[in-house]
Each structure stands twice: as C-alpha cells, then as structure tokens.
Chains A and B, each alone.
Chain A
Amino acid sequence: MAGRTIVVTSGKGGVGKTTTVANLGTTLAKKKNSVVLIDTDIGLRNLDVVMGLENRIVYNLVDIIEGKCRKEQAMIRDRKLSNLCMIPAAQTREKNSITEEQMKELCSNLAEEFDYVIIDCPAGIEQGFKNAIAGADTALVVTTPEVSAIRDADRVIGLLEAALVRNINLIINRLNARMVKKGDMMSTEDIIALLSVPLLGVVPESEDVVVSTNRGVPLVHDRSSKAGAAFRGMAGRLDGESIPLDGDAGGLLGRMKRLIWN
C-alpha cells in the first residue's frame, strides 16, 4: 500500500513549517514508520540545519529531478533513526528549476517505498508553493495566533482547496496560554472559527524550540519539553491514534500517556 504524502505549508514565513516537519517526521519514524522528508525551499534551504545534517549533503532535490543522481544517493539518513531520511533542497538554484509534474512523479515514487513522505513547503504562494503541494494528498497548514499569519493561512487554504487537496488540517504554533487568558492573543476557538478547518494540534510557545533548532536536534527527542509533547500528540493523531487535543497541555494524565507511548 502506498504511503501518505503530507505537505506542511503556511503562506507566511517564520511560523514554524520547518520545525513542524522535523518534529513530526522524527516522531513518526520513532513509531517505526519509514519516513522521508523533502525540503522544497530551493535557494533558501534550512531543513538540513534543523535536522543537524548540513555537513552530509552531497546531492539534492534538483539533482534527482535533473537525473544527475539516483534518489537513494540524495537521501541523507538521520543520525539517530535509521528509518528516517531527508532530501535537501538545492541552495544555489531557483524555485522554477523544477516543475509540478516532476514533483508529482517524485512524490508518487517515494510513496511506494515509504510510509510517510513529508514535504516542507517554502513561504509564499508562487512556483515553490505550487511545486510543494503538487504531489500531496494531505496538507498541514501552520499558523501562529497573529492576524497576519492567519490571513495568509486563509489564502493558502483557499488555494489548497482549489488544487483539490482533500485533507487539510490546521496546526496552531506558538500559542501563549497566559496571553490568551488575558485577552491579548487570539484563542484557538477564534482561529478555528475563522479558518474553519479541523485542528490537528496546538504547540505552546517555548524557548526549547530555539535551543533545539540551534543544536540541530529535533525537539521531540527531549522528553521534558511541552512543545515536544505537542508534536508527539500531533504525530500520533496523524498516525491514526485517538489522542484528545487537551492531552498536549502537559497535565498529569497527559504525562502518564506520554510515558506509556515512548
């Protein structure tokens, strides 16, 4: 059976697409799935940095598509998990060096071999976005509780619907519960009322994210992190487990559940 191809997108830059890809990919791989991550942000690649695999890059996505290497040669295996690998983007090329058709073919080939193909989409809605969503059957739209990010997410959801992507789920990143309580930040309910797509999970604002990005080790390896727990919850839901959304809050029950999973 063919695996799932999931694109992680947002419209606005800097809302946490790459972090989400790295963490969901790592968690799904920890759950004994075979996972490949594709960075399609050609010219501005950074999934390799977040995964800590920057110094191992020889071939990249454009090389595979132009036939300069086999796709196995461009896949870089993760340092900890042997069933997780990534295809880096080319840093010295441009977004229009690949086409939607080529991307679609690559995704369907990879879905034959892997359980999950997770695509990191570039910011914006131009050619890079079109390439990234071309081969995907599921889209995860990442937004932060800011009006500008939500506006862009709304636009992107409209474009995904127009491109006939069937499953669209929302991830709210960097939610600060204290600010929501004071009424200084949009709440989860407000965002869902506006965007009207199913919620996959909420990631609380956390300093751990910056630390893990700089170290090049995905957050989910750190068991004490609340943000990491949120990503684990989302990955579980993607994998078909029924985990209540508020289990991410880090309550006693949530912590016990986490102990049981890992």
Chain B
Amino acid sequence: MSSAMAPIQIKADRAGFLLIPDPEASFEAVMAFLEERLEQSHDFFHNTEMVLDLRKSPMGSDEISALCTRLHQKSMVRIVEVRLGEEVSFAVAGAPERKRVAPEAGRRHEESAPVIVRNTCRSGVRVVSASDCVVLGDVNPGAEIIAGGDVIVYGTLRGVAHAGVGGDQSARIWALSFEPNQIRIAELVAVPPRGCKPGRGRFEIAEIRNGVIQVVSL
C-alpha cells in the first residue's frame, strides 16, 4: 500500500509527528489504519507527541477525542495540538505548552479575507483578525483591534491597535486621525508623545522604520 493511498498519513517534521487524515477516507478506516500501523511498528511511536492536522479534512469533536483516547491507550501517544485552519489551532488540554514556530517575517496574509467592522468600536470591544482588519468608524478608548496584517481605520483611532501580530514587521496601521492609547506593530510598542495634536482629515500611517514605529501622514 503506497502512503498516498493511506486513509491517514503519518509524517515526521522538526516539531514531531504530524497526522494528516485523507479527506476521502471514513473515520472508521482512519482508526483501523492507525491501529494497524501502531501494531506493526511495535514501540516506534511509543510515548511520542503528535499533531493532528485537520486543515483538509474536518472531524467532529467526538471523533477527535475518540482518536486521542485510542492512541493513548494503544501506545501512550499524546495528541498535543489540533490544527483547524491556517491561523487556527488549539492545544489539547493537559498537553505541555509547545513553542510555536513564528511565521517568517515579511510574510503577507493575502490568503485569507480581511475582517471588516461596519460600526464604531466602543470600549470593551476586541476585534481579532488573522489577516487585515478594516474598521468603518472610530476606535474608541478601551477597544482593541488585533490583526495579523494591516489595521485600517476610516475614522479616529483612540484605542489600541496591534498590526502584524504574528511578527510581520511590514504591517502598518492606517487611520484618518491618530489619537491612540498605544499602537503595536509586530513586537514593537509605541505610545504617542504627550500634547501631540493630530492633523485631521487625511490618512496617517504608522509603520516600522529603522527598528522604531513612526507615524507619517500621506
């Protein structure tokens, strides 16, 4: 049986073993195949950590937990992480914290659609986007906009904006008027100088230049 035809692929990478189920295969076939492989390989997988990659073939939560339990019973295999989408994954309860591999700097997030907020973000609102985030309104003090890519505010930015959360240093923050509590790009943090009055009515952009966050107007 070639590995391409297998109902579930077991790959090894730097982070450990990766389980990638075939979208065509049924859950029963996946389970049967896994049990057979563990049986054949004797103690090779004993006491290892694995990552379940469900980006191509979604599974129900009961199926995930059944799979975890079975693997653990069979040869003490622990599923430490389940990947659901490009930016969405969750660590399985009880698993030790693993260091995430930071995405390469400069990578753009063009593959997923931007999040568009069509009203003013008031205090207490938190918007999280894997790619860009566009706010058609103000961002008031106490609100947080967090984006993997750029943050674009068609209004006054008075709250907190964090662009390039994954470490993207080329991410920028755009706003019609800048009066923020704090802005963050990648791992840098900046606060506006005291007593600084913003120019109204034209876009201002915050970006990283020479290792510091600078705000320039268009």
Contacts and interface: CB of A to CB of B under 8 A. Distances in A.
Interface of A: 147, 151-152, 154-155, 157-159, 161, 194, 196
B142 A155 contact: yes
Contacts of B141: 147, 151, 154
A6 to B, nearest CB: 21
Contacts of A147: 141
A196 B120 CA distance: 9
Query: Lowest 5 CB-CB distances: which A-B pairs, in order?
Result: A158-B122, A155-B123, A154-B123, A155-B124, A154-B122
Given A158-B124, A161-B119, A194-B138, 18 more contacts: A147-B141, A151-B141, A151-B142, A152-B123, A154-B122, A154-B123, A154-B140, A154-B141, A154-B142, A155-B123, A155-B142, A157-B122, A158-B123, A158-B125, A161-B122, A194-B158, A196-B120, A196-B138
Contacts of A194: 138, 140, 158
Nearest to A194: B140
A100 B122 CA distance: 24
Chain B: interface secondary structure?
loop
Contacts of B124: 155, 158-159
B125 to A, nearest CB: 6
Contacts of B140: 154, 194
Q: Which of B119, B122, B158: most chain A CB closer than 10 A?
A: B122
A153 to B, nearest CB: 9
Interface string B107-125: 0000000000001101111
B144 to A, nearest CB: 13
Interface residues of B, number: 11
Nearest to A196: B120
A147 to B, nearest CB: 8
A252 to B, nearest CB: 37
Contacts of B142: 151, 154-155
Contacts of A158: 122-125
A152 B124 CA distance: 9
A68 B101 CA distance: 63
Contacts of A157: 122
Nearest to B142: A151
A11 to B, nearest CB: 9
* Residue in B119, B120, B123 with the greatest tally of chain A CB atoms within 10 Å: B123
B120 A151 contact: no
B142 to A, nearest CB: 5
B89 to A, nearest CB: 29
A97 B193 CA distance: 49
B82 to A, nearest CB: 31
Interface in B132-148: 138, 140-142
A40 B214 CA distance: 49
Interface in B147-189: 158
A159 B158 CA distance: 19
Contacts of A196: 120, 138
15 contacts: A151-B142, A152-B123, A154-B122, A154-B123, A154-B140, A154-B142, A155-B122, A155-B123, A158-B122, A158-B123, A158-B125, A159-B124, A161-B119, A161-B122, A196-B138
A159 B123 CA distance: 10
A158 B127 CA distance: 14
Most buried by B among A154, A158, A159, A194: A154
Nearest to B120: A196
B160 to A, nearest CB: 13
A155 B125 CA distance: 8
Nearest to A157: B122
A157 B122 CA distance: 8
A151 B123 contact: yes
B56 to A, nearest CB: 36
Contacts of B158: 194
A154 B140 CA distance: 8
